[in-house]
């Protein structure tokens, strides 16, 4: 078996099922406004805006630039102020990548300042209460944001969650020589076997066996 060919097929399969290292959104054109390509790498715009922002602000604070110049309680109000664009994004969905990126940068700034406020809060009981509120709020926001993003699937002719998306399913079945990697996992073997069936049969079986999100 040609190892290079096997690696090539595996890469195509990973792209089809969206196993990208830095982007966790479906690998289809309906979700292209959620990601950005830098060279050969594909990144989630949201993650690229949030986490590097927190890291940069943390480094600046560590070397003496940032929170030390700001009164303690001001961190809370600054955090809330920069959280406003993130709340707006829950209700106003834009396909403009730059606007999405700036909104996520704003969320990163908000997260940083709220964490600083909690970390330096002088009373232990208050620190615990604010930590619980922060974790609960972050969890709720993440869940809400995830559900609103999945609404993009409503614009697709299949209109399904992307875990059982027939669009992604079609991408996989279009891969040539998929049988070369059938031994990698039962999941891939499953698709190889479906590829041997007629279109009507494999779509029916796929719908019956792949769970909805």
| 47 and 122, same domain (yes or no) | yes
Give 42-101 pLDDT, tens digit per residue.
788 888 999 999 999 988 887 766 555 566 778 889 999 999 998 898 888 788 889 999
Find residue 36's DSSP bridge partners.
43
In which region does residue 94 sit, left (phi positive, over 0), alpha (psi from -120 to 50) or beta (all else)?
A: beta
| 144 and 179, same domain (yes or no) | no
* Cβ–Cβ < 8 Å for 142, 103: no
Residue 55 inside a domain? The answer is yes
Domain final residue, candidates 135, 155, 175:
155
Give 5-48 pLDDT, tens digit per residue.
777 777 777 766 654 556 666 666 677 788 887 776 778 888 89
d(CA 40, CA 38): 6
Which residues form the domain of 57? 29-155
For the chain, what is the domain count? 2
Token readout for 156 is: 């697709």
| 105 and 200, same domain (yes or no) | no
Rg (alpha carbons) of the chain, rounded to whole number: 22
């Amino acid at each position: 078996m040609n190892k290079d060919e096997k690696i090539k097929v595996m890469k195509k399969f990973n792209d089809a099922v969206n196993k990208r290292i830095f982007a966790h959104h479906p690998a289809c054109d309906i979700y292209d406004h959620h990601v950005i390509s830098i060279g050969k790498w594909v990144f989630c715009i949201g993650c690229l805006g949030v986490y590097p922002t927190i890291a940069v602000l943390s480094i600046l604070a560590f070397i003496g630039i940032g929170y030390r110049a700001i009164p303690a309680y001001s961190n809370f109000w600054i955090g809330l102020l920069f959280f406003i664009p993130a709340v707006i994004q829950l209700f106003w969905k834009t396909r403009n990548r730059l606007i999405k990126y700036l909104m996520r940068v704003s969320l990163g700034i908000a997260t940083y300042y709220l964490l600083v406020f909690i970390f330096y809060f002088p009373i232990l009981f208050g620190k615990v209460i604010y930590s619980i509120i922060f974790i609960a709020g972050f969890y709720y926001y993440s869940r809400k944001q995830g559900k609103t993003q999945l609404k993009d699937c409503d614009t697709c002719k299949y209109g399904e969650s992307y875990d059982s998306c027939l669009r992604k399913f079609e991408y996989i079945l279009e891969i040539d020589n998929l049988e070369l990697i059938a031994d990698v996992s039962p999941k891939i073997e499953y698709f190889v076997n479906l590829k041997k069936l007629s279109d009507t049969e494999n779509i029916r079986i796929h719908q019956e066996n792949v769970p909805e999100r």
